Structure 1
Amino acid sequence: MQSFRLTLANNGVVQGAHAIPTQSPSPVRYRPLIVALHGGGYDHQYFDALPGYSASLMSNALATPFVTIDRPSYGGTSSILPIPSGSDFTTESAIQLHRFILPKLWEEFGVPHGCTCIVLLCHSLGVMPGIAVAALHGDERTPDYPLGGIIASGMGNTQSQSAKDNPPQYPRVDDNHALCPTELKDAVMFKPGTYAPEMLEQTERLNAICPIPEIAGFVTQWMPVWKEKWAPAVKVPVMYSLVEDDPFFEATQEEVDNCVKAFTNSIRVEGSLIRGAPHCVELSYWAQGWYARCFGFALECAASFVVSG
């Protein structure tokens, strides 16, 4: 993928990478701009870890533009810290994405390449601002970008017992940031037999300093309220997925169904339980199969956005 760094309307910056297919004219009539939001402790490189596991393969195969960014307060994207009193990390992230980052990405990558809408692809803690953005967009009468759908994986509704018993206590880099030890990360994010050995060689490169307010706050500020505060405001199509035996969340078909049912005003919602895969499905042997499903759903969203209005 090709790196980029853009200045936003509020003088902040967003950093990331893109895969823009060069076929002209495009063989796909209605195509989305897929914008990927990484999970906690990663950055935009998560979706481009190794050539055989990159979202760029499916982007090129299906002539669909793909953008992966450092979320607010990660990597080279502007920080939203400190969080204002009375707010939380997810809310402030969503505001930054909705008001400044996504409009800029749409202007820079969506419009010039004939896309019909943005579809968000969110992993783990990136699901929180993704859903919140979709909720904010659903409340807008004249949004600054078209949103056609959201894909969510790796964020459940109920913490696993092991996660409750072992809350994250990563070494601090400063007062507001921490970094997960690579050995711990490999042990938690993968399961034996689910990944190529060379993927572990990328752990240090992919490991990113994470904002403590996000890591510390998602259990108390997101999980108790998301089904009532955020999900009902989402109107676009939703694809929700959990992996079996997720280390952080209870991951059963019943849990998937509970998450799906929260999106009471979405025009289309579907859910799935990926059996056998690790938490970081995009870094596993399931990567390209998962990406194929994501891009397929996003292409359907793009067509529906135009045809159904």
Structure 2
Amino acid sequence: MQSFTIPLSNNATVAGIHSIPNPAASPLHRPLIVGLHGGTYDCHYFDATPDYSASRASIAFGIPFVSIDRPCVGGTSSFLPVPGGSNFNQETGRWLHKHILPALWSEFGNGCNCIVLLCHSLGVMGGIVAAAMHAQDEKPRYPLGGLIVSGMGDKASPSANNSPPPVYEKVGSDHVAMPVDVKDVMMFKPGTCSPEVLAHSDRLNTVTPVVELQQYPTIWLPTWRDSWAKHVAAPVMFALVENDVVFEANEEEIRSCTAAFENSVRVDGSLVKGAPHCMELSYWSQGWYARCFGFAMECSVSLVC
């Protein structure tokens, strides 16, 4: 994918990478898919290697794909410290809805009729907040066609509850890094990803805001249903993975999590058997991407038919 940096309406900047296929190869109804990475990764999470990249599906289906560094990570501007009266998740969603997604729509939305958010792990929080804000905005500056979620559940897994928290290395005053050997054990059950991907673990490892790690269990998990998910109106595709060491993942949890989107026009839920936390980097990668792009295209058609 190709790198970009574009200015925002709040005098900040957003950085990321994109795959923009020739419009001649695109379907009649074309979404713009925007990837939001999880913690300890940046925009390259969705473009780890040629074989484990959203660009393959982007080119195959003729659908543009953009992956950004989320606010406070990589080349995208930071809002830290979190403004008073807000929290990290809320501020991320506000930046997405007010500034980042309108800028991406203006820059990359030509020939598309909506944005579909593809969110992984901690990136899910800002994505759901942005989708909720979009639904409550009388004059949104971009059309939201759908929301895709993976790697974020509602309850900590039994292994997470029974294990000491991972040890992070402090990087500056606001960020931490996870040692790669610890991270690989958490993200991948043995045998679920290619040695090719693990060879890039150092390159893909990125610092994460401390406050995000602190607030997702204390602020996000207790409130996400009533504060945000119930306001989402766009279609939702929600997936948990069976071998997630972070979140409890079973059919009951799928039913519980999808029920939170009570005002969405469509909610699809699935438990992906065998897949690890970082499904997009695993052997399930291209099958999952094919499903995500298919859902996004369905969302695009549903807006006009």
What does 1:1-309 align with in structure 2 at a 5 Å threshold?
1-24=1-24, 26-110=25-109, 112=110, 114-164=111-161, 165-307=163-305
Q: Secondary structure at the match of 1:277?
A: strand
Cα distance in 2 between the residues matched to 1:205 and 1:305:
39
Deviations 1:149-184 (A, max 9, x none): 000000000011332342243111122100000000
Which shifted more, 135-144 or 77-86?
Answer: 77-86
Structure 2 regions of 5+ residues with no counterpart? none
Q: Is the 8 A contact 2:189 2:243 kept in 1?
A: no
Distance 1:27 1:289 in 2: 20
The whole-number CA distance in structure 2 between the counterparts of 1:86 and 1:168 is 29
Classify 1:23/1:137 alpha carbon distance in 2 versus 1 (closer, same or farther; 3 Å). Answer: closer
How many pairs does the alignment contain? 304
Q: Deviations over 1:227-249 (max 9, x none)?
A: 11101100000000000031011
Unaligned runs of 5+ in 1: none
Q: Which range is displaced more, 36-45 or 160-169?
A: 160-169
| Aligned counterparts of 1:223 and 1:126: Cα–Cα separation in 2 | 14
The amino acid across from 1:48 in the alignment is D
In structure 2, what residue type is equivalent to 1:116?
N
| TM-aligned CA deviation for residue 214 of structure 1 | 0.3
Tell me the distance in 2 between the aligned counterparts of 1:59 and 1:236.
22
One-letter amino acid of the counterpart of residue 100, structure 2: I
Task: Report if the CA contact (8 A) 1:168-1:215 is conserved.
Answer: no
Query: Secondary structure at the residue paired with 1:225?
Result: helix
8 Å contact kept, 2:136–2:231: yes
Deviations 1:44-99 (A, max 9, x none): 00000000111000001100000000000000000010012231100000111110
What is the TM-score when the length of structure 1 is the normalising length? 0.97
Q: Secondary structure at the match of 1:148?
A: strand
Give the match's secondary structure for 2:168: coil
Amino acid at match of 1:254: E
| Separation in 2, partners of 1:163, 1:34 | 31
Q: Any conservation in 1 of the 2:166–2:182 contact (CA below 8 Å)?
A: no
Alpha-carbon distance, 1:27 to partner: 4.0
RMSD over aligned Cα atoms: 0.9
Distance across 2 between alignment mates of 1:161 and 1:89: 26
Letter of the 2:266 counterpart:
R
Distance 1:14 1:168 in 2: 29
| 1:198 CA displacement | 1.4
CA distance in 2, matches of 1:173, 1:222: 24
Q: Partner amino acid for 1:119?
A: V
